[in-house]
Chain A
Amino acid sequence: MEALVTVENLVKTYGAGANEVQALCGVSMEVRAGEVLVMMGPSGSGKTTLISILGGILTATSGSVKIDGREIVGLPEKHLPALRKELFGFIFQGFNLFPALTAVENVSIMCQLKGVRNPRQRAAELLESVGLQEKLKSYPADLSGGQKQRVAIARALAGEPRIILADEPTAALDSVSGRTVLEIMSGLAREKNRAVVIVTHDPRVLDYCDRIVHIEDGRVGREEVHNQREKVA
């Protein structure tokens, strides 16, 4: 499998002087197209920091992150929004849906932002693909946690990004809806040769992933190959 993201010797230091925190101390890894990669590790080990840098929403202190061969470390800040718009879909633990917008509006606003044609129609299709065709006009407040996360997944898919980054996507969900969400997410990787990166503590995720990277104290520890793809096939 080709490497979509290559990380080399990545360092991130928060603060300075006495408040200095070394969150990442030389991380090297890669993310491949078509795989579901899970990052696990104790609290404070640097998972969120790592995924934020991968997604171009946090700048690294040093090292290299190449996405599709393009170096993003050291890129001027003003180039980052366009990069994020083009390459990534994000999924959050807290869903981060706009409460004032209906499900379909939440998705279509992102389609619009990403310059998708017929954003409203595309949004409806995306919601249908996560099984929410009945809930287009519902407001987030009227949806269950699992349904909200599915709206968030549909939103992350706006503009067909090559890489989906999810931080604890199931932490706020019960076990049934957690499984549904994970199933949908692992499907995403297979269907369009996307890379799906999931940060989690959730052991259920192991049934749906191809590879696990353990992060400990800002370093890559063990790496396990699960090869879910072969199991399914």
Chain B
Amino acid sequence: MNILAWKNLLHDRVRLVVTLTGIVFALVLIAVQFGMFLGFLDTSANIVEHNAAELWISAPGIPHVNGGSPIAEAKRWKAMQVEGVEKAVSFTLFFLNWKLPNGAFESCQIAGFDLDSGLGAPWNVVAGSVEDLRGEDTVFVDELYKKKLGVSKVGDTLELNGKRARVVGFTRGIRSFTTAPYVFTSFKNAQTYMRLREDETIFILVKTKPGADVAAVKAGLQATVAGVEVFTHQEMLERTQAYWVFGTGAGTTTLMGAVLGLLVGIVVVAQTIYAATIDHLKEFGTLKAMGATNGQIYRVIILQAVLAAVMGYGLGITIALFVVNSTSDTDLLIKLPAEAAMGIFGLTLFMCMSASLLSIRKATTIDPAMVFRG
């Protein structure tokens, strides 16, 4: 009986094309929208994710990692007295103006980190050495934003918040969720660019001693250091993602897009599989007259749906991967990890099977006695 499902599906080429187009369209929509969502999660908090600090100390109530405000750097000494703290270093993240060669301004975010501990250092370095940031006026930028920031090679100099900045290295793929790219420099340099007072920082990053209980250290810091809030790595990550991805509607919009794709897919596939079932009513009736059970008819209908799903998935995921790859060197990250691709396969099967339910209902009502009528 399997052959009937397979050949019925292939017999009507036009319908097959319509079905596959529906599945592929839905799939690409789901994959790209969901991939954008994953990309947003990744991009929005990459600066936290790639930071090895277990605890972040900031001004109280900051909304996200990009929204810090100055605190006294002297609190670092207090923090270091807390049981379980191995290191407490300064880190800044702040929006600044970047002057382009043509005199126009772009916004960037200066990430100033402690060179000795390396907490908050850039990753994926493709040109230059992080050690070069020990020099005055030195910065790292990301290759993705070369054009936006008007730089092309190591040694280019520009103006950052009115002060000279020399590009000494590049990273690859450190995206920014906002339109302001990250520019890395030493904490000392950042203080100068930001015109912070000598005794001010934005964050104090804490590395705990091996085996220390992070929650206990956090409580200790919160009790010892006055006028600050202490976040774990995970808390800062989630707070930042929640702000950018859900607070801005970017997350909801992409997820809605994915759900919409699923609905469109179900409707298109349901419609074509239903039409195919109606067209084959006489054949199904003949099968029933000749002794096929309802279960056997359902199997044919469901198998048709599954075959359509497998074919549509093969095509759709190929196109989706193509779209994903084509974004790999743009500032919009679309992620499609293997787990997501597998999840989408499950979703495609679900989509096609639920689309065939209507047809199955129809098949139960087939009266085999119809076969003797004209």
Residues of A within 8 Å of B157, CB to CB, are none
> Contacting B369 at CB < 8 Å: which of A58, A81, A88, A114?
A58
Q: Does the CB pair A84–B289 fall under 8 Å?
A: yes
Name the interface residues of A30-89: CB closer than 8 Å to any CB of B. Answer: 48, 51-52, 55, 57-58, 81-86, 88-89
Nearest CB of B to A123, in Å: 12
Whether a CB of chain A sits under 8 angstroms from the CB of B287 is yes
- Taking A58-B369, A85-B290, A98-B7 as given, write out 19 further A-B residue pairs in contact, using a Cβ cutoff of 8 Å, ordered by the A residue number: A48-B372, A55-B289, A57-B288, A57-B289, A81-B292, A81-B293, A84-B289, A88-B290, A90-B286, A90-B371, A92-B372, A93-B374, A100-B4, A100-B7, A100-B8, A100-B11, A101-B3, A101-B4, A113-B287
Residues of B within 8 Å of A48, CB to CB, are 372-373
- Cα of A49 to Cα of B374 in the assembled complex, Å: 13
> Contacting B289 at CB < 8 Å: which of A90, A93, A94?
A90
Residues of A within 8 Å of B283, CB to CB, are 96, 98
What residue of chain B has the Cβ atom nearest to residue A101's Cβ? B7
Residues of A within 8 Å of B287, CB to CB, are 113
7 contacts between A and B (CB under 8 A): A52-B369, A85-B292, A90-B371, A98-B7, A105-B3, A105-B7, A113-B1
* Residue interface bits B288-326, CB-to-A below 8 A is 1, else 0: 111111001000000000000000000000000000000
Interface residues on A, range: 20 to 34
Give the one of B1, B11, B288, B290 with max A CB within 10 A.
Answer: B290
Q: Does the CB pair A82–B291 fall under 8 Å?
A: yes
- Cα of A55 to Cα of B291 in the assembled complex, Å: 11
Residues of A within 8 Å of B291, CB to CB, are 81-86, 113-114
Q: Does the CB pair B10–A100 fall under 8 Å?
A: yes
- Cα of A224 to Cα of B4 in the assembled complex, Å: 43
Whether a CB of chain A sits under 8 angstroms from the CB of B282 is yes
- Cα of A204 to Cα of B371 in the assembled complex, Å: 24
Whether a CB of chain B sits under 8 angstroms from the CB of A131 is no
Name the interface residues of A95-129: CB closer than 8 Å to any CB of B. Answer: 96, 98-101, 105, 109-110, 112-114
Q: Does the CB pair A51–B290 fall under 8 Å?
A: no
Residues of A within 8 Å of B292, CB to CB, are 81, 85, 113
Whether a CB of chain A sits under 8 angstroms from the CB of B68 is no
Residues of A within 8 Å of B368, CB to CB, are 57, 84
What residue of chain B has the Cβ atom nearest to residue A108's Cβ? B3
Q: Does the CB pair A57–B3 fall under 8 Å?
A: no
Nearest CB of B to A13, in Å: 15
- Cα of A86 to Cα of B369 in the assembled complex, Å: 17
Q: Does the CB pair A96–B11 fall under 8 Å?
A: no
Nearest CB of A to B358, in Å: 21
Nearest CB of A to B362, in Å: 18
Nearest CB of B to A33, in Å: 21
Q: Does the CB pair B372–A109 fall under 8 Å?
A: no
- Cα of A90 to Cα of B292 in the assembled complex, Å: 13
Residues of A within 8 Å of B372, CB to CB, are 48, 51-52, 57, 92-93, 167
Nearest CB of A to B293, in Å: 5
With A57-B369, A167-B372 known as contacts, the answer to whether A90 contacts B8 (CB < 8 A) is no
Q: Does the CB pair B296–A113 fall under 8 Å?
A: yes
Name the interface residues of B13-36: CB closer than 8 Å to any CB of A. Answer: none
> Contacting B290 at CB < 8 Å: which of A84, A93, A100, A167?
A84
With A96-B283, A100-B10 known as contacts, the answer to whether A110 contacts B290 (CB < 8 A) is yes
Nearest CB of B to A53, in Å: 9
Q: Does the CB pair A96–B286 fall under 8 Å?
A: yes
- Cα of A94 to Cα of B285 in the assembled complex, Å: 13
What residue of chain B has the Cβ atom nearest to residue A86's Cβ? B291
Q: Does the CB pair B373–A113 fall under 8 Å?
A: no
3 A-B pairs with the lowest CB-CB distances in the bound complex, closest first: A85-B291, A100-B11, A100-B7
What residue of chain A has the Cβ atom nearest to residue B373's Cβ? A48
Q: Does the CB pair B288–A92 fall under 8 Å?
A: no
- Cα of A98 to Cα of B8 in the assembled complex, Å: 9
What residue of chain A has the Cβ atom nearest to residue B10's Cβ? A100
Name the interface residues of B316-374: CB closer than 8 Å to any CB of A. Answer: 368-369, 371-374
Nearest CB of A to B149, in Å: 61
- Cα of A92 to Cα of B7 in the assembled complex, Å: 23
- Cα of A83 to Cα of B368 in the assembled complex, Å: 14
Q: Does the CB pair B7–A90 fall under 8 Å?
A: no
Nearest CB of A to B289, in Å: 5
- Cα of A114 to Cα of B372 in the assembled complex, Å: 21
Q: Does the CB pair B293–A109 fall under 8 Å?
A: no
